[in-house]
């Protein structure tokens, strides 16, 4: 019933390819799925930020599912994305009901809580900005987040999180190895779907531990800790420590700033103190475990968005986004908390409550269906700036790197394989100079030569074409403050109204350059406004007196460089440095260094015609992560098989 109700509400999404919301981050997710459906290369991702490791693009599970659906159903990645995320949207109330019923064994209260979650958004009552964005309290926030804001992975993780708690509870109750392994797999699936989902799962596990009585605490704590470690080991190749570190650093400025300061230790202490007080209160009043869990989970999930909305206190980066988890917990808590009081009422009051609930659900169904139909309106993608710009780039630039504005860079790789200096998930950036460069390219602040400085940085990072969007463009954000700063400075490649692409480098320009050893800069720029430094850097890599480097990509993580070199000359490659890169000349390893702006610098140690194999593979961290993942999986399988064999060999007892 719950699944059917939600399918009725959002069935348009199963059939739509593109919606009206081109400013949505879903363009980045569709790009990931589109590329995977065509190039299943899970090592290096050359299309964003001058290249990043694939694991830094985004937790990959949803995009893998989208790509597989696109391939098997012979539909576009955009269509597959909307169908898959609509399925998870409909599944969310079902798994929430399953979790509530498993924990409480109360059928109708669990169903009522999941029904509330399907048809009501408590955040509209608690957060003014949410109510304002929706235009009232009777509209679906979770659906708005999915369609208008593009929160597909977030919504998918909300559907998977209750499954992880259900299997965790089953494993702890039945103590069977197979269930423990399934619990770890379910937890890993949440973490591999969405970062916010992973944090929320950790909060749910803390709430689950604190919901136990004193006699159970130690066993449950140890089991949850072991399962968390097992789940992370399984997921480690896709969320290794370096990726977690990049996300931690970058998240503090995305949509923020949200700096983590010493004051956050005080916030953490307050939250821990409240958790302990709640646990003591629950022990004193002998509350059932399911109410303990829901109250604690609701507190942990409500604290970030409400502290942000009410007091402008940022407990975590992007705290406002956790209101969807808050809604999930509050709907169940409300239904299950009042269930005993409703049970004590007579038949007539109970019938009146059911009738009132049915009328409210009917009215809300009409509101939600109307909103869903509006949000799922299809769009002719060929009329958009994002498609037109990407199509021209695809047809004319032959895979050369570009820098395009705003929503154009979200969607670029949904339509073309062109690499870009921007990208779809800023939390995954590994080169910490790029955010400052991107800001300077858009804002032009701090200099009266913003066009000239911008061109220098574009050349430094190997960008062949730069795009701008003017006031009449359909590009959503129009981030370039002075959108005419390249006029007269760079030749125009493409113009469609106020959408313009300019030539930065000639077609013949390579991403690899010969450098004289004395021209190598050893110190980084003082800032992105250091025009003298940028001029010197660009002059060194564009020295016309040095031989040209031929660079040919064999696949997305392997390139071959060829040039006529003299003794001690180096190769500068405008690809992001990472310890996983290896350079070989005649199968002999050569040294790779990070240059002052975070790009590759190779010492080929050869003279004459020199060929360098440049390949990205496992560094020590990724090798350890893969070993840990496969070892954990193998150990789990052996444990399950061994336990089954022991059970089968156990003698049966006849009475």
Give tens-digit pLDDT for 602-616.
Answer: 999 999 999 999 999
pLDDT at 655: 44
Half-sphere exposure of 383 (CA within 13 A, CB side): 6
**CA-only gyration radius of the chain, Å:** 28
Three-state secondary structure call for residue 48: coil
Work out the average pLDDT over 531-539: 97
Token digits of residue 583:
């350079």
Residue 91 predicted with pLDDT over 90? yes
Q: Which helix (H) or strand (E) holds 91?
A: helix 77-104
Token digits of residue 388:
């037109």
Residue 437 predicted with pLDDT over 70? yes
Three-state secondary structure call for residue 492: strand
Counts of helices then strands in the chain (DSSP H, E): 23, 14
Is the Cβ–Cβ distance between 346 and 121 less than 8 Å?
Answer: no
Residue 653 predicted with pLDDT over 60? no
* Mean of the per-residue pLDDT values of the chain: 96
Cis peptide bond N-terminal to 257, omega within 30: yes
Three-state secondary structure call for residue 376: coil
pLDDT at 650: 67
Instruction: Give the model confidence (pLDDT) of 444-480 as tens digits.
Output: 999 999 999 999 999 999 999 999 999 999 999 999 9
Is the Cβ–Cβ distance between 240 and 622 less than 8 Å?
Answer: yes
Instruction: Give the model confidence (pLDDT) of 134-192 as tens digits.
Output: 999 999 999 999 999 999 999 999 999 999 999 999 999 999 999 999 999 999 999 99
Give burial (CB, 10 Å; 0-12/13-18/19+) of 390: buried
Token digits of residue 5:
């109700």
pLDDT at 647: 83
CA 147/CA 21 separation, integer angstroms: 7
pLDDT confidence tier of residue 652, bands split at 50, 70 and 90: low
pLDDT confidence tier of residue 651, bands split at 50, 70 and 90: low
**Which conformational region is residue 136 in: left (phi greater than 0), alpha (psi within -120 to 50 degrees), or beta?**
left
Number of other CB atoms surrounding residue 613 within 10 Å: 16
Work out the average pLDDT over 340-356: 91
What does the DSSP 8-state code read for residue 381?
A: G
pLDDT at 284: 93
Number of other CB atoms surrounding residue 295 within 10 Å: 21
- Of 168, 279, 278, 277, nearest to 226 by C-alpha is 168
Residue 590 predicted with pLDDT over 60? yes
CA 540/CA 538 separation, integer angstroms: 5
Token digits of residue 600:
């590759």
| Domain extents in the chain | 2-17+76-375, 381-503, 512-617
Instruction: Give the model confidence (pLDDT) of 270-306 as tens digits.
Output: 999 999 999 999 999 999 999 999 999 999 999 999 9
CA 355/CA 351 separation, integer angstroms: 6
Beta strands in 353-455 (DSSP E): 402-403
């Amino acid at each position: 019933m719950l699944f059917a109700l939600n399918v009725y509400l959002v069935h348009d999404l199963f059939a739509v390819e593109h919606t009206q919301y081109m400013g949505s981050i879903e363009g980045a997710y569709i790009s990931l799925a589109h590329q995977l459906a065509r190039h299943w290369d899970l090592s290096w991702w050359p299309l964003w930020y001058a290249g990043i490791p694939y694991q830094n693009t985004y937790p990959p599970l949803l995009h893998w599912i989208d790509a597989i659906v696109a391939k098997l159903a012979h539909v576009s990645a955009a269509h597959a994305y909307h169908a898959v995320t609509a399925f998870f949207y409909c599944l969310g109330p079902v798994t929430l009901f399953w979790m509530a019923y498993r924990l409480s064994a109360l059928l109708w209260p669990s169903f009522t809580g999941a029904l509330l979650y399907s048809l009501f958004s408590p955040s509209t009552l608690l957060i003014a900005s949410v109510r304002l964005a929706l235009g009232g309290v009777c509209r679906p926030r979770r659906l708005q987040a999915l369609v208008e804001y593009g929160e597909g992975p977030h919504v998918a993780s909300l559907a998977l999180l209750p499954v992880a708690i259900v299997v965790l509870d089953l494993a702890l109750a039945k103590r069977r190895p197979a269930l423990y392994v399934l619990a770890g797999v379910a937890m890993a699936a949440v973490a591999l779907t969405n970062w916010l989902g992973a944090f929320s799962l950790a909060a749910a596990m803390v709430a689950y531990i604190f919901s136990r009585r004193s006699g159970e605490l130690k066993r449950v704590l140890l089991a949850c800790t072991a399962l968390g470690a097992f789940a992370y080991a399984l997921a480690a190749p896709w969320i290794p420590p370096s990726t977690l570190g990049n996300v931690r650093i970058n998240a503090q400025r995305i949509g923020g700033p949200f700096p983590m300061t010493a004051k956050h230790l005080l916030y953490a202490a307050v939250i821990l103190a409240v958790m302990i007080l709640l646990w003591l209160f629950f022990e004193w009043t002998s509350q059932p475990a399911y109410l303990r869990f829901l109250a604690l989970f609701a507190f942990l999930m409500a604290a970030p968005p409400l502290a942000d909305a009410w007091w402008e206190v940022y407990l975590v980066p992007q705290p406002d986004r956790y209101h969807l988890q808050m809604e999930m917990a509050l709907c169940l808590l409300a239904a299950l908390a009042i269930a005993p009081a409703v049970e004590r009422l007579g038949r007539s009051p109970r019938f009146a409550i059911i009738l009132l609930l049915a009328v409210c659900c009917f009215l809300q169904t009409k509101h939600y269906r109307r909103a869903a139909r509006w949000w799922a309106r299809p769009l002719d993608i060929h009329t958009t700036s994002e498609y037109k710009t990407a199509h021209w780039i695809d047809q004319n630039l032959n895979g050369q790197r570009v820098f395009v504005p705003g929503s154009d860079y979200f969607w670029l790789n949904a339509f073309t394989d062109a690499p870009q200096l921007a990208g779809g998930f800023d939390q995954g950036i590994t080169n910490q100079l790029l955010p400052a460069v991107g800001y300077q390219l858009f804002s032009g602040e701090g200099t009266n030569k913003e066009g000239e400085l911008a061109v220098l940085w574009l050349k430094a990072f190997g960008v062949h074409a730069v795009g701008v969007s003017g006031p009449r463009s359909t590009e959503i954000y129009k981030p370039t403050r002075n959108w005419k700063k390249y006029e007269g400075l760079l030749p125009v490649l493409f113009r469609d109204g106020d959408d313009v692409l300019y030539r930065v480098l000639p077609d013949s320009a390579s991403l690899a350059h010969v450098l004289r050893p004395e021209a190598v800069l050893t110190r980084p720029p003082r800032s992105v406004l250091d025009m003298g430094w940028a001029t010197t850097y660009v002059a060194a890599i564009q020295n016309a007196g040095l031989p040209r480097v031929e660079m040919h990509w064999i696949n997305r993580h392997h390139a071959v460089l060829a040039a006529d070199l003299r003794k001690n000359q180096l190769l500068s490659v405008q690809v992001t440095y990472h310890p996983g890169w290896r350079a070989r000349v005649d199968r002999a390893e050569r040294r790779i260094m990070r240059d002052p702006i975070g790009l590759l610098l190779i010492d080929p140690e050869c003279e004459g015609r020199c060929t360098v194999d440049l390949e990205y593979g496992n560094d020590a961290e990724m090798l350890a992560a893969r070993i840990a993942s496969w070892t954990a999986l193998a150990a789990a399988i052996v444990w399950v098989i061994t336990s089954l064999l022991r059970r089968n060999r156990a003698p049966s007892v006849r009475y």
